[in-house]
């Protein structure tokens, strides 16, 4: 019996994704396997996109025409070999930009996940016609969208900031309406629509207004991450950690508690000497329907570029590829990454506060000289 057969389970019996069960959180591997384990594979299936967002983490890689991808059968084989696989994510560009990619890669990958009883996520801007997403919805668990706007005007300013030519407001407003409509329809079709907002120089004072619109769109989850200056977004103005903290307080004050609020890549840690930051983490841990997800990148997840087969720690990291799935199994590549000095530098764990260390970008930005392996959570 192969791995797929062993893990095939009745989909009706699958645990619902809620604030009590988030299989993308790498902390779950530590008690189960006694260390980090590859449970999640992200695949970049497109470098095409109809938008050019100001904050796009992979904006540098977007193209107008893309090369052939590695054969689907090889990708499926590599997924099948991942023994502890629990989740897959499909990302881009706009992964559904090409109808052919939807048909020949995305639908089969989602069907594979569904048959194996593992969970799936697509990262999309959902601005294309609903028919594109309708084909994916029956097999999909999470549709992850970016939502950083309070109006069509803001969507226009942010979503086409890097287009290099004038995009009429009217055209952008039409996409904005389509996005909202698609998010509603996907929610109604039973997909968990998770809207991600970034805390940045534009949004930090109006996160509560953005949240309200996300609730009105029928999203089940609001995902919130501070924005850091990675590649394409490196020239954007930065806000302070205090600004980030205040934005989170603002959200907590106004949020709708029926919507799961998931925070990720926060620059705050329980081992910090900063009491206010520790107090915020304590509050987040006690809030109903709020979770703080540990960073999956390189802890339980790898990114596979489906054009080259190269494997990365994330789709936007400055860390170069450490191998190719055409030559190696993903479990073996993951072991190779865990022995990398960068992976080791953030491999701390404080079980009392369910933390397994900082994100690499955050460490580099705020904690360059801090040795997290020598720190411990401060328990009050
Ligand atoms: S796991 Fe690491 S980052 Fe988290 S509280 Fe402990 S020492 Fe700090």
Q: Among 228, 262, 261, 258, which Cα is nearest to 244's?
A: 228
User: What is the Cα–Cα distance from 298 to 283, expressed in whole angstroms?
Assistant: 27
pLDDT of residue 13: 58
Secondary structure letter of residue 18 according to DSSP: B
Q: How far apart are CA 100 and CA 98, in angstroms?
A: 5
How far apart CA 252 and CA 207 sit, in angstroms, is 10
* Residue 216, token pair as written in the block: 């009105």
What pLDDT is recorded for position 20? 97
Please say if the pLDDT value at position 7 is more than 50.
no
Evaluate: CB of 329 within 6 angstroms of ligand 1.
no
pLDDT confidence of residue 2: 46
pLDDT bin (cut points 50, 70, 90) of residue 66 is confident
Rounded to whole angstroms, how far apart are CA atoms 212 and 180? Answer: 13
User: Which residue, 44, 18, 40, 9, is CA-closest to 27?
Assistant: 40
Say which residue the tokens 């992850």 belong to: 144
291 DSSP β-pair partners: 262
- The residue assigned the tokens 């989740």 is 87
- Protein residue with its CA nearest to atom 8 in ligand 1: 271
Say how many Å lie between the CA of residue 195 and the centre of ligand 1. 27
For the cut 90, the answer to whether the pLDDT of residue 236 exceeds it is no
357 in ligand 1 pocket by Cβ < 6 Å? yes
Distance from C-alpha of 106 to C-alpha of 102, rounded to nearest angstrom: 5
**H-assigned helices in the chain:** 3-7, 29-33, 72-81, 99-101, 107-116, 130-134, 152-159, 169-188, 207-216, 241-254, 275-286, 330-338, 341-345, 360-366
**Ligand 1: which of 377, 378, 379 to mutate, judged by most atoms within 8 Å of the beta carbon?**
377
Write the CA distances from 361 to 267, 316, 317, integer angstroms.
10, 11, 8
Mutate to test the pocket of ligand 1, among 356, 363, 380 (most ligand atoms within 8 A of CB): 356
Which structure tokens are listed for 190? 């039973």
Examine the pLDDT at 366 and tell me if it is beyond 60: yes
> Among 142-151, 152-161, 173-182, 298-307, which stretch is predicted with the lowest mean pLDDT?
152-161
| Residue nearest ligand 1's atom 2 by CA | 357
Which residues are 89's β-sheet partners? 42, 121
92, pLDDT greater than 70 = yes
pLDDT at 8 over 50: no
pLDDT band at 211 (very low <50, low <70, confident <90, very high): very high
pTM exceeds cut of 0.75: yes
The Cα–Cα gap between 126 and 140 comes to 14
C-alpha 312/C-alpha 320 separation (Å) is 7
- Token pair for 142: 């999470």
Phi, psi of 77 (to 5 degrees): -65, -45
CATH of 3-16+28-248+299-342, one of 3.20.20.70, 3.40.50.720, 2.160.10.10, 3.40.50.1820: 3.20.20.70
Residue 230 has pLDDT above 90, yes or no: no
């Amino acid at each position: 019996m192969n791995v797929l057969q062993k893990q095939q389970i009745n989909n009706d019996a699958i645990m619902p994704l809620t604030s009590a069960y988030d299989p993308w959180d790498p902390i779950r591997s530590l008690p189960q396997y006694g260390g980090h384990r590859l449970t999640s594979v992200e695949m970049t299936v497109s470098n095409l996109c109809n938008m050019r967002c100001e904050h796009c983490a992979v904006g540098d890689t977007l193209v107008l025409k893309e090369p052939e991808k590695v054969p689907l059968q090889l990708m499926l084989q590599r997924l099948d070999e991942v023994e502890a696989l629990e989740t897959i994510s499909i990302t881009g560009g706009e992964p559904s930009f090409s109808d052919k990619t939807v048909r020949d890669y995305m639908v089969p990958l989602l069907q594979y996940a569904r048959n194996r009883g593992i969970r799936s996520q697509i990262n999309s801007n959902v601005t294309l016609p609903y028919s594109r997403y309708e084909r994916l919805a029956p097999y999909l668990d999470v549709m992850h969208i970016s939502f950083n706007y309070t109006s069509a005007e803001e969507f226009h300013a942010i979503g086409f900031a890097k287009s290099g030519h004038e995009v009429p407001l009217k055209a952008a407003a039409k996409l904005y309406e389509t996005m909202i409509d698609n998010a509603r329809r996907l929610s109604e079709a039973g997909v968990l629509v998770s809207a991600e907002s970034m805390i940045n120089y534009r949004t930090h004072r109006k996160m509560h207004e953005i949240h309200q619109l996300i609730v009105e769109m029928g999203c089940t989850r609001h995902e919130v991450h501070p924005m850091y200056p990675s590649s394409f977004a490196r020239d954007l103005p930065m806000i302070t950690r205090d600004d980030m903290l205040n934005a989170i307080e603002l959200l907590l004050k106004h949020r709708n508690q029926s919507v799961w609020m998931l925070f990720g890549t926060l620059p705050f840690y329980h081992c910090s000497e900063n009491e206010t930051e520790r107090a915020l983490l304590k509050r987040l841990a006690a809030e109903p329907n709020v979770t703080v997800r540990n960073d999956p990148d390189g802890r339980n997840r790898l990114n596979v570029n489906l054009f080259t087969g190269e494997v990365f720690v994330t789709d936007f990291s400055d860390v170069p590829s450490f191998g190719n799935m055409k030559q190696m199994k993903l479990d073996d590549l993951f072991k190779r990454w865990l022995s990398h000095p960068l992976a080791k530098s953030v491999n701390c764990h404080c079980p009392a506060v369910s933390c397994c260390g900082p994100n690499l970008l955050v460490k580099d930005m705020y904690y360059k000289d801090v040795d997290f392996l020598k720190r411990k959570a401060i328990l009050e």
